[in-house]
């Protein structure tokens, strides 16, 4: 495809004649620059057999190994998934799901036993997955107030106390409606996204072969993007360093059990910078998604993080999804350099590579059969 041809400076065809009347008259002869005469040197690629065919073969040859590599990598990732929605009568969570009501103050707990066939090495990541949950719905996506979440104290002020103040946007953004305020008190954090935050609690126990059930330590920090945690989300800094005091005068979102300043005991993980909250606030692109819930840190010794054996998942069932036919899942996964388990890329690369190779052959045949015909191109003059 690379043919370089530089058009030579061609002579003009005219004899240059100075303008009539000598040099006083302005000569209107256009300037002889490559730009104005459209003679800029240029690279003129052409699709020829010499460039197209090798390109196809080379692409094929490159793609297939990459694809195989990706596929193998993806296959080496271990992933375990449990659906605990509980709309099946046999499911341990059936009762919790059935009896769910928003007024329940006492959470319903269900335990799900499961078995890992393979030991999980290195760090293991624990996700919760939701399906049919439209976090990408337009009205949902915009139902948040970024300046409130960034610690803008004005967005936490009482709204319509004075008309002047309200005009100056000193209340949660109106995008948060209808979750902006209750009884003239602003909701912190406001909006439908925050309101619908995932609030099941998942705990993991390892059932030792000798009968004891050992709780597995789950790390709840380091699960959000650094930029989110440190830039995008900030707790409001009032006169008081106490979060409780800062959020004074606000109300918790309707669906929440606890106000935002009681999400965690750790001050670095409380309020708006609670990482569970941050992860939830990063809305998913598709209606089926998974979000990082906890990290199971690798132990120091040589033993695998999660050895083979029986485990129990204990769920505090707070989050209703049955009403909109959603599903809830718990996923345990290891990762690789290319992220989580996703065989698509590998397969796609292999396919595209093979198709390229095949196309290359087809084009070669076509070229051999017909191509020579127009090499002897007879363009009449």
Partner 1 sequence: NDRSFNLSHGYANNAIRTSKYSIFTFLPLNLFEQFRRLANAYFLFLLILQLIPQISSLSWFTTAVPLVFVLSISAVKDANDDINRHKCDRQVNNRKVDVLMDGQLKNEKWMNVQVGDIVKLENNEFVTADLLLLSSSEPLNLVYVETAELDGETNLKVKQALTATGELEDNIEALAAFNGEVRCEPPNNRLDKFKGTLTMNDDIYALDNDKMLLRGCTLRNTEWCFGLVIFGGPDTKLMQNSGKSVFKRTSIDHLMNILVLCIFGFLGFMCAIMAILNAFWEASEGSLFTVFLPREAGIDAHLSSFLTFWSYVIILNTVVPISLYVSMEVIRLGNSFFINWDRKMYYPKNDTPAQARTTTLSEELGQIKYIFSDKTGTLTQNIMTFNKCSINGKAYGEQLCLRKQMITLVDFSWNNLADPKFSFHDHSLVEMVRSGNPETQEFFRLLSLCHTVMPEEKKEGELNYQAQSPDEGALVTAARNFGFVFRSRTPETITVIEMGKQVIYKLLAVLDFNNVRKRMSVIVRGPEGKLTLYCKGADTIILERLDPSCNKLMKLTTNHLNEYAGDGLRTLALAYKDLDESYMKDWTQRHHEASIAMEEREEKLDELYEEIEKDMMLLGATAVEDKLQDGVPQTIEQLAKADIKIWVLTGDKQETAENIGYSCNMLREEMKDVFFVSANTAEGVKEELLKMCPEAAEEPSVTTSRGGLFWVEKMETVQDEKVDGEYGLIINGHSLAFALEKNLRLELLRTACMCQTVICCRVTPLQKAQVVQLVKKYKQAVTLAIGDGANDVSMIKAAHIGVGISGQEGMQAVLSSDFSFAQFRYLQRLLLVHGRWSYIRMCKFLGYFFYKNFTFTLMHFWYAFFCGFSAQTVYDEWFITFYNTIYTALPVLGLSLFEQDVNDRWSLQHPQLYTPGQKNQYFNKKAFVRCVMHSCYSSLILFFIPWASMHDTVRDDGKDIADYQSFALLAQTCLLIVVFAQLFLDTYYWTAINQLFVWASIAVYFAITFTMYSSGMFLIFTSAFPFTGTARNSLNQPNVWLTIFLSSLLCVLPVVAFRFILIQLRPTINDEVRAKARKEALPAPAPRRTLKKRITRRSGYAFSHSQGYGALVMSQKFLLKGHMRRLALFDHRDSPMVQNQPQHYRTITEESESQSP
N- to C-terminal Cα separation, the chain: 27
> Which one of residues 41, 113, 119, 215 is an interface residue with partner 1 (CB under 8 A)?
41
From the CB of residue 156, how many other CB atoms can be counted at a distance below 10 Å?
25
Place of tokens 């290891």: 334
> Which residues does residue 371 pair with via DSSP β-bridges, in sequence order?
none
HSE (side-chain half, CA atoms, 13 Å) at 376: 3
Q: Which residues ranging from 95 to 124 are in contact with partner 1 (CB under 8 A)?
A: 123
Chain residues 138-197 in contact with partner 1, contact rule CB under 8 A: 138-141, 143, 145-147, 150, 152, 173, 177-178, 192, 195-196
Binding positions for partner 1, 239-278, rule CB under 8 A: none
- Count of residues that interact with partner 1, criterion CB under 8 A: 118
**50 binds partner 1, rule: CB under 8 A:** no
Q: Counting contacts by CB under 8 A, is residue 17 touching partner 1?
A: yes
Note whether 89 binds partner 1 by CB under 8 A.
Answer: no
Nearest approach in angstroms of CB 129 to partner 1 is 8
| Residue 145 token pair | 């107030």
Residues 271 and 233: their CA atoms lie apart, in Å, by: 10
Site for partner 1 in 336-355 (CB under 8 A): 336-342, 344-345, 348-349, 352
Written as six digits, the tokens of 339 are 């992220």
Please pick, from the candidates 23, 28, 210, 265, the single residue that binds partner 1 as defined by CB under 8 A. 28
Cα distances (Å, whole numbers) of residue 66 to 80, 182, 302, 338: 26, 56, 32, 12
Residues numbered 210 to 239 that lie near partner 1 (CB under 8 A) are 223-228, 231-232
Cα-only R_g, the chain: 33
How far apart are alpha carbons 219 and 294 in whole angstroms?
A: 6
Question: Measured from the CB of residue 57, what is the shortest distance to partner 1 in angstroms?
Answer: 12
Shortest gap between Cβ of 94 and partner 1 (angstroms)?
20
């Amino acid at each position: 495809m690379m043919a370089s041809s530089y058009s030579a400076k061609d002579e003009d065809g005219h004899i240059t004649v100075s303008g009539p009347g000598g040099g006083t008259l302005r000569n209107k002869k256009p300037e002889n620059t490559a730009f104005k005469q459209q003679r800029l040197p240029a690279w003129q690629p052409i699709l020829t057999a010499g460039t197209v065919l090798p390109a196809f073969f080379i692409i094929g040859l490159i793609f297939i190994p990459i694809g195989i590599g990706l596929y193998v990598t993806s296959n080496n990732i271990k992933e375990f998934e449990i659906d605990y929605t509980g709309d099946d009568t046999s499911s341990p969570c059936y009762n919790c799901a059935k009896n769910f009501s928003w007024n329940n103050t006492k959470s319903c707990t269900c335990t799900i036993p499961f078995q890992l066939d393979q030991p999980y090495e290195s760090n293991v990541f624990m996700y919760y997955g939701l399906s049919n949950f439209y976090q990408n719905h337009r009205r949902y996506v915009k139902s948040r107030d970024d300046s409130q979440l960034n610690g803008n104290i004005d967005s936490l002020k009482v709204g319509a106390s004075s008309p002047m103040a309200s005009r100056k946007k000193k209340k949660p953004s109106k995008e948060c409606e209808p979750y902006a305020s209750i009884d003239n008190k602003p909701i912190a954090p406001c909006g439908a996204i925050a309101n619908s935050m995932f609030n099941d609690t998942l705990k993991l126990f390892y059932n030792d072969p000798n009968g004891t059930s050992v709780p597995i330590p789950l790390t709840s920090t380091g699960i959000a993007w650094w930029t989110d945690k440190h830039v995008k989300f900030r707790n409001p800094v009032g006169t008081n360093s106490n979060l409780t005091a800062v959020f004074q005068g606000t109300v918790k979102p309707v669906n929440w059990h606890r106000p935002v300043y009681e999400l965690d005991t750790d001050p670095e993980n409380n309020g708006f910078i609670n990482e569970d909250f941050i992860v939830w606030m990063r809305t998913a692109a598709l209606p089926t998604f998974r979000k990082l819930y906890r990290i199971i840190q690798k132990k120091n010794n040589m033993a695998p993080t999660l050895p083979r054996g029986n485990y129990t998942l204990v769920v505090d069932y707070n989050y209703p999804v049955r009403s909109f036919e959603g599903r809830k899942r718990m996923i345990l996964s290891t990762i690789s350099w290319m992220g989580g388990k996703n065989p698509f890329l590998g397969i796609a690369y292999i396919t595209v590579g093979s198709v390229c190779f095949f196309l290359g052959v087809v084009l070669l045949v076509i070229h051999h059969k017909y191509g020579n015909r127009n090499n002897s191109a007879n363009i009449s003059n």
